[in-house]
C-alpha cells in the first residue's frame, strides 16, 4: 500500500516535474515517509504538500526534498551537512546517497525521535548534533554538500566557510513569508549562485542567521 503510494509520488510529483537523478528517485522510493509523520496524519504521508509535525515545524513537500537533494549531486564518497533535520526524513534520503550525514537540529523534541527513526531503519552513517545550525559544525567540516532546511535572510558566513572546494549548498533565502531556493557553488574563494525557484520554509531561529557572507 505505502509502496504503491511511494511509487505514485515518485512518478507524479518528482519525475513529472523534471527530477531525473535515478539515485535520488530510488532513495525516495525507499524511505518510508509515513514513519516520519504523526500517526493521525499518516494517510497524508505521500500527499503533494508539506505537513505540520511537532513543535510548529513541518516536513517538507516531497518534491522540494527531491529538488534540494538532486541539486547537491552527491556521490557515495561525499559528506553532507544538514541544518534543520526536523523529522529526519530528508536526513534519511541524504544518508542513502552520501558517505556520512552530519545532521543539526535545534529542537530536542524533534532530534531525539529523528535519531530513533533512523536507527530503527538501520542507518549507521548519520551523526547528530543538538544546537544552532547557523554556525554549522566546524569540527566535522568541510562538506561536499550542505543542505539548509530553514529560511535565512542571507547565507550565514559559517556555512559558506565549511563548504569544501567544488562543494554545493542549497538554502532558502529571503523573508519570513517567501524565499528563493538558492544553489551555491564554491570555487576557491568564489561562490556562484543559481535560483531553483520560490519556496516557503520555516525560519532559521538563530542570532547568527544575520551574519552573512558577502554575496
Among 101, 149, 171, 181, binds ligand SAH (CB under 6 A): 149
| Options 25-33, 100-108, 117-125, 173-181: segment touching ligand SAH (CB under 6 A) | 100-108
Residue 144 — φ and ψ, nearest 5°?
-70, -30
Assess 35 for contact with ligand SAH (CB under 6 A).
no
92 touches 114 (CB < 8 A): no
Q: Where are the beta strands (DSSP E) in 89-140?
A: 100-105, 126-130
Is 204 a binder of ligand SAH (CB under 6 A)?
A: yes
| 133 is a contact residue toward ligand SAH (CB under 6 A) | yes
User: Which burial class, exposed, middle or buried, applies to 85 when counting CB atoms under 10 A from its CB (0-12, 13-18, 19+)?
Assistant: buried
Interface with ligand SAH includes 33 (CB under 6 A)? no
Which distant-in-sequence residues (6+ apart) come within 8 Å of 141 by Cβ? 81, 161, 162
Q: How far apart are the C-alpha atoms of 148 and 169, rounded to whole Å?
A: 8
Closer Cβ to ligand SAH, 97 or 149, answer by number: 149
The answer to whether residue 60 is catalytic is: yes
- Nearer residue to ligand SAH within complex by CB, 72 or 192: 72
Residue 109 lies near ligand SAH (rule: CB under 6 A): no
Residues that bind ligand SAH in the complex, under the rule CB under 6 A? 57-60, 83-84, 86-87, 89-90, 104-107, 110, 132-134, 149-150, 202, 204-206
Amino acid at each position: 500500500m505505502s509502496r504503491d503510494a511511494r511509487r505514485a509520488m515518485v512518478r507524479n510529483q518528482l519525475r513529472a516535474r523534471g527530477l531525473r537523478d535515478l539515485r535520488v528517485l530510488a532513495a525516495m522510493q525507499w524511505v518510508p515517509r509515513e514513519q516520519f509523520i504523526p500517526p493521525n496524519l499518516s494517510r497524508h504521508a505521500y500527499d503533494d504538500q508539506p505537513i505540520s509535525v511537532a513543535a510548529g515545524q513541518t516536513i517538507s513537500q516531497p518534491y522540494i526534498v527531491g529538488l534540494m537533494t538532486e541539486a547537491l549531486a552527491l556521490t557515495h564518497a561525499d559528506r553532507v551537512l544538514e541544518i534543520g533535520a526536523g523529522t529526519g526524513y530528508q536526513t534519511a534520503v541524504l544518508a542513502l546517497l552520501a558517505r556520512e550525514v552530519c545532521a543539526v537540529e535545534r529542537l530536542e523534541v524533534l532530534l531525539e525521535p529523528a535519531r530513533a527513526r533512523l536507527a530503527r531503519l538501520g542507518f549507521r552513517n548519520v551523526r547528530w548534533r543538538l544546537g544552532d545550525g547557523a554556525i554549522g559544525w566546524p569540527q566535522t567540516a568541510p562538506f561536499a554538500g550542505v543542505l539548509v532546511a530553514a529560511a535565512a535572510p542571507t547565507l550565514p558566513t559559517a556555512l559558506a566557510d565549511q563548504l569544501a572546494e567544488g562543494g554545493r549548498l542549497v538554502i532558502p533565502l529571503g523573508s519570513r513569508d517567501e524565499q528563493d531556493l538558492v544553489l551555491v557553488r564554491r570555487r576557491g574563494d568564489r561562490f556562484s549562485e543559481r535560483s531553483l525557484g520560490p519556496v516557503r520554509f520555516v525560519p532559521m531561529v538563530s542570532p547568527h542567521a544575520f551574519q552573512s557572507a558577502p554575496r
